[in-house]
Chain A
Amino acid sequence: MADVVLDRVEKRFGDVLAVAGIDLTIRDQEFLVLVGPSGCGKTTTLRMIAGLEEVTNGDIRIGGRSVTHLPPRGRDIAMVFQSYALYPHMTVARNMSFSLKLRGTPRAEIDRRVKEVAGILGLTEQLNRKPRQLSGGQRQRVAVGAALCRQAGVLLFDEPLSNLDAKLRVHMRTELKRLHLAIRSTMVYVTHDQVEAMTMGDRIVIMNGGVICQVGTPLEIYDKPASRFVAGFIGSPPMNFFEGEIAADEAGAAVLLGGGLQLPLPRPDLAERAGRKVWLGIRPEHISLTQAGRMTSEVSLHRVFRTAKVPSVIEVVEPLGHRVILTARSAAGPFQMETEIHAGVHGGERVELWFDMNRAYLFDRDTEAAI
């Protein structure tokens, strides 16, 4: 069992509170992604798990054993660094076997493991090369291989894909995911890229300002963002936000946006909170050009009823292939939406857009929490 438990872990650098007492349980064999903007404390958290940073307060347990005061080598962990951190003077094989050699593993066992890992990662041909003779992707795999050879209970990844070009990054994403399915050790993965987080994580931890904003599966995070920050961080293009106020109308509740725009809400219970200042959040993919829009497959009377008409002007059209990102402006402000390329929309066109209010989110403007 190599579960990792962070118990009110806190890290201060002088007066700066980098990690503000977080609680987190990483389950055995889980692929957990720590994601957040730079400076959110995700890397510091990872480095504390690794033992590279002292913990100011709190306790870290790996496999039920407190490791807070253990040096890195006593923690049953391996780590892949952003810069790969390969020893430039060692061959690939020696890079991968270095930690085993230091632990006094028998030679035959070392050779066996190096061969096995090199086989998995497709590095058999490169075993006798030096790191500088390898391409970026190969170096990346050597770094992963060195971590795998250890057969540690927990593998830590510190933005391992950020130095690769876009195409290779997508490829390595799949590779790492496949690797996790194959070796089934606990993996903690730090990234600032929400796409990486969504595609790779069994669960995602979203951090901001040294605290955890939300922990959940990619679907939970996407469907039920706990705060405006999470909602805006996950999704591409990002969610649109409009300043507004809850109002009561004849059908139940509505949200009153700038420019006198009033959109109905599918939650009648909100009527009693009329007057509350809120953010209305709606993802670009939940705005469509027609009333039925993209929801035709799951159309229901109720849903159709709860779409809201917003007269807008299309400002910019950005085709990405099949998908097209439109930047539009309504009375309530500018926003982005997504449609498909055959919709035939042009810049400057006046259109009526339909907001799917069932998929709209409300966030309190003071606390930023979801309502």
Chain B
Amino acid sequence: MGAKVPILPSAREPERRPKLLEREAPFGYLLVLPAVLYLAVFIAYPFLMSIYMSFTDAQAGNPKWEFIGTQNYSKVESYQVLANDFVLATLPDEAAAKRFAAARDSAKVTTEPAGSRFRAVLEAAGTRVPLLELGSEGDASYLGETVGKELSWKVEKRGGQYAVVAHAAEDAPVTFGPYNDKATLNRERRSDILVPAKTTVKTQGKGVMQDPNFRLAVKNTFKYTFGTEAIKLCLGIPCALILNRKFGGRRLLRGLLVIPWVIPIAISAQAWLWILDSTYSVINWCLVHWGILSPGNIINFRGDKNWAMLSVIAVNVWRGFPFTTIVILAGLTAIPDEILERARLDGANGLQRFAYVISPMVRPILMVSLLFSVIFSFTDFNTIWIITKGGPYDQTQVLSTYAYQLGVNAGYLARGAAISLFMFPIMAVMVFFMLQFLRREA
């Protein structure tokens, strides 16, 4: 009762906060909440989780994860030196070289000690050629025999002279090692082989960088992405130009165009599986029917390593080019008629109008579409998984399928995570440059 009640409201009295229900901001936050939750639960958490996982030794069925640093990315356990094409002798005239090469059958490889090491020496046509120098007599003798006896000798013209080359095929090199550390590798690499030869170093280890399949997957991913994008543009630009013209049925055609884009890939892939089937392929049927192929050598689209990549690219292009077309079409329709008319008055013919007016004006929107499309193809899993599952022999294995293969199917969760994270920096760089380009254009 004794509380003082101001009789006149003071002008300086701070305004009372409006009631919760009268303010707008809380409702905004409320409406955004589901989206934030979604992003947190389904995007941010898995992303951060896979970053964490890629630094552990997580495996399916293994309840305890240990932090192992960057070993999933790169852990070299040993090195090997692969060598091809040992140049045994270089002679000034061809006849002498041929005589030397012919001496292969009578050539002898002997091993002699050289300091603390052992040297394999080749004797052929009366010449002694020191071949190798290795730590153990057995190794020196074995590899010396391999080079001297098992490889084929060829005469090659090199810089005006004739070289006798002991030739090992690219996929069947002579291997030295393994060496456990880099210092040994470097020392051995310098002193092992005494004649000129082509050498490469092969690293072996558990990190994905040492995994030849991973490297293949990276290569395939780029092949797949850029092959797809190039074809999409080559198809999309002419299609958009045609659809931008006025003709009967244009609206119908525009509608039909988006069908591949809206059909779920799981459904359309069934059709493609049939189209690309090894036995019942409709393409093969047509080619045989028209007499282009004989029934005996039909194309195995999904099983042949030369065709498999083309097949998955074809499916992705079929699916993705409507999007490219629609986006370019949107860009084309946005060009005011008056600008094209002015170009005609300025004296530009059709090609010049396209080159100097239409394409620069469409370019920004084209870049946006390309950006989306590249991301879509780079991370595409569905198409490849449904059509080839990465096969045959990993010829269509891309990063996303390989990450799944290794992480989920094989249970190496940590390495799967490391592979999928590899996509992130590559994408980031691509997106950065594209956005940079867009900003410059705008």
Contact = CB atoms under 8 A, between A and B. Distances in A.
B338 interface: yes
B361 to A, nearest CB: 6
A103 B343 CA distance: 12
A79 B348 contact: no
A87 B348 contact: no
Interface stretch (A70-78, A256-264, A301-309): A70-78
Nearest to A86: B339
Interface in A181-203: none
16 contacts: A50-B341, A50-B345, A52-B344, A72-B347, A73-B346, A77-B345, A81-B338, A81-B342, A85-B342, A87-B356, A89-B361, A98-B343, A99-B347, A102-B347, A146-B346, A150-B346
A87 B339 contact: yes
List 7 tightest A-B contacts by C-beta distance, closest first. A73-B347, A99-B346, A85-B338, A85-B342, A89-B360, A102-B347, A81-B338
B352 interface: yes
B338 A98 contact: no
B336 interface: yes
Interface range, B side: 10 to 19
A79 B343 CA distance: 11
B338 A72 contact: no
Nearest to A79: B345
A85 B356 contact: no
The residue among B338, B342, B363 with the most chain A CB atoms within 10 A of its own CB is: B342
Contact of B347 (A81, A82, A103, A146): A103
Interface in A77-106: 77-79, 81-83, 85-89, 98-99, 102-103
Interface of B: 336, 338-339, 341-348, 352, 356-357, 360-361, 363, 441
B357 A87 contact: yes
A149 to B, nearest CB: 10
A98 B356 contact: yes
Given A87-B357, A98-B356, A72 B344 contact: yes
Task: Summarize B's interface: helix, strand, loop or mixed.
Answer: helix
B248 to A, nearest CB: 15
Contact of A98 (B346, B361, B363): B346
Contact of B338 (A71, A83, A88, A146): A83
A78 B345 contact: yes
Interface in A144-197: 146, 150
Interface in A109-157: 146, 150
A87 B348 CA distance: 13
A30 to B, nearest CB: 21
A85 B352 contact: no
A52 B361 CA distance: 22
Contacts of B352: 102
B331 to A, nearest CB: 12
Interface in A51-65: 51-52
A83 B335 CA distance: 12
A19 B344 CA distance: 23
A71 B360 CA distance: 24
Nearest to A150: B346
Contacts of A71: 344
B339 to A, nearest CB: 5
Contacts of B360: 87, 89
A102 B338 contact: no
Given A87-B339, A98-B356, A102-B352, A73 B345 contact: yes
Contacts of B361: 87-89
Nearest to A84: B338
B341 to A, nearest CB: 5
B13 to A, nearest CB: 48
A79 B182 CA distance: 74
Contacts of B345: 50-52, 72-73, 77-79, 99
Given A87-B357, A89-B361, A73 B344 contact: yes
A50 B336 CA distance: 18
Contacts of B341: 50, 52, 72, 79, 81, 85
Contacts of A103: 347
B405 to A, nearest CB: 46
Contacts of B343: 87, 98
Contacts of A99: 345-347
Given A51-B344, A72-B341, A87-B339, 16 more contacts: A52-B345, A72-B347, A73-B345, A78-B345, A81-B338, A86-B339, A87-B356, A88-B361, A89-B361, A89-B441, A98-B343, A98-B356, A102-B347, A102-B348, A103-B347, A146-B342
